[in-house]
Amino acid sequence: MIQSAPGVVVVGSLHYDIMVAAPHRPAAGETVQGDRWHPKFGGKGGNQAVAAARAGASVRMLGAVGDDAFGTFLRQNLRQGGVDDAHVVTLPGSGSGMSVAISDLTGDYGAVIVSGANLGIDAARLQDETFWHGAAMLVLQNEVSETLNEAAAQAAHARGTRVCLNAAPYRKLSTTLEGAVDLLIVNALEAEALAGVPVRDISDAEIAARTLSARFPVAVVTAGGDGVAVAERHGEGFHLSAEPIRVVSTHGAGDVFVGTLTAALAAGSPLEEAVRAANRRAARHVAGLG
């Protein structure tokens, strides 16, 4: 049963993912013979909401789907994942967001997204107080408009709710949004783009996290198999090594990390304990044990 007072609220994207397994990802102009494909619930917003719910948080999401079969699939999966979808709207005449992801033999992947209904989320819905009831943490990503993220972050701060931004995919952040973020989570590529620091290993990730902590109260840089680095503007930084696992697929691992971390923080866990829990659960996901 979905609870009425969540610890985590998510404003973000919902995508119908088509997952393709292939020996390698195609180069420009190349056609690759794939092995298999399957549909999957996705979108960074949806994935992070479900991950937070699975980590024990009560979760509510604001988003949009189209009036199509994809939209029905996305709603069903949100509910089955324990997320309250009362603030997810169906937009008549609009197609749901979707993506195609190609995973290679190493477990790495590349993807293309089509935003669809995700770009039609009405920021006016953020003024509905029932959405914010009991929210300790707001989670945002960059698969919806910057204007919506700005409005959501400002609405959260007005209600005493902390703001987490997973700045993925990378885009330049407005000063309005940047100034409203309490916790930034980025991967190596996004950290390099935001901080201007090449991230090739965990030492580089620590430097990038420290650089970003001058702009954000807490900066978390995930570096895949090298681990995760954390820096606080007014505190000590730390890093954790990656869990030793066999890689099955990295697709969605970052979303599991974000959802687990924010669920733990919303429940009152100390930062290092929350990062450790997120690191562990993301590793299990990569190993196919999630």
| Local confidence pLDDT in tens for the 290 residues of the chain | 344 456 999 999 999 999 999 999 998 999 999 999 999 999 999 999 999 999 999 999 999 999 999 999 999 999 999 999 999 999 999 999 999 989 888 878 888 989 999 999 999 999 999 999 999 999 999 999 999 999 999 999 999 999 999 999 999 999 999 999 999 999 999 999 999 989 999 999 999 999 999 999 999 999 988 899 999 998 889 999 877 767 776 677 899 999 999 999 999 999 999 999 999 998 888 777 66
Domain boundaries, the chain: 8-12+43-95+119-181+243-286
Give me the pLDDT at residue 24, please.
92
State both tokens at 139.
């989670």
Which residues lie closer than 8 Å to 48 by C-beta, 6 or more apart?
10, 12, 139, 141, 166, 255, 258, 259, 262
- What distances in angstroms separate CA 28 from CA 32, 35, 169, 264, one per listed residue? 11, 20, 21, 42
Catalytic sites, residue numbers: 255
pTM: 0.91
C-alpha Rg value of the chain to the nearest Å: 18
Q: Does domain 8-12+43-95+119-181+243-286 have CATH number 3.40.1190.20?
A: yes
Grouping H, G, I as helix, E, B as strand and the rest as coil, residue 39 is: strand
